[in-house]
Amino acid sequence: MRPRRAAAAPVRIVHLGLGGFFRAHQAWYTGAAPDAARWGIAAFTGRSRTLPDRLSAQDGLYTLVVRGPDHDEATVQSAVSVARAGTDLDAWCAYLAGPQVAVVTLTVTEAAYRRHRDGGPDLDDPELRADLDALRHGGRVTTVPGRLVAGLAARHAGGAGPLAVVCCDNLPDNGAATARVVRGLAAAARPELARWIDGSVSFVTTMVDRITPGPRLRTCGRWPS
């Protein structure tokens, strides 16, 4: 029998990168916090619909299995209030435009930031150049930097106030690295947005180093991590 819950926590965190590492660590810590009932996560994949569709069918609940030397511990996790495909740009921008959202977190791998060797956005990358054109003319973005800038543009337009962007990828000085890419792309697309980002968006540096095996089986309709 699949687990159900009466109500999900209100979304105050938006996450990009709905993978095993996020589900086993960041989502676990969020759900274990004393005020977890106030901090739900809207979690987006890179692009795939498979995992969000499965999680949505289970109300965002899944089983985390922690392996131990003597026994395994399995607990149902409930921090993910909403699961969406990364291609759902309308939902992404709508969440970031909401004043109740305070934090955006990222686990997308180093390559997804599309950095030039100088640390700024690689505008020689054809997908990033396409996103730059889309940001200038109201089109659809596809890259991680493009989605971040599009979401921040929606927040700026809605007057939703300050926001923290927290990179959880294993990059040296990852907050500053994320800031340089995002600000650089925003400045190339819309200078007034870049100025707003400078005054209203903080980029937090973290250090995380863990490996999480992916799910290999289904148990009672729940996904282990």
Backbone φ/ψ region at 161: left (φ over 0), alpha (ψ -120 to 50), beta: left
CB 96 within 8 A of CB 6: no
12: CB partners within 8 A, 6+ apart:
38, 39, 40, 100, 101, 102, 103
Q: What is the pLDDT of residues 52-108, one digit of tens each?
A: 999 999 999 999 988 888 998 999 999 999 999 999 999 999 999 999 999 999 999
Alpha-carbon distance of 211 to 144, in angstroms, equals 22
The whole model's pTM is what? Answer: 0.89
104 alpha-carbon distance from chain centroid: 6
Structural contact between residues 173 and 205, judged by C-beta atoms closer than 8 angstroms: yes
Q: 120-131: per-residue pLDDT in tens?
A: 999 999 999 999
Half-sphere exposure at residue 50, Cβ-oriented, CA atoms within 13 angstroms = 3
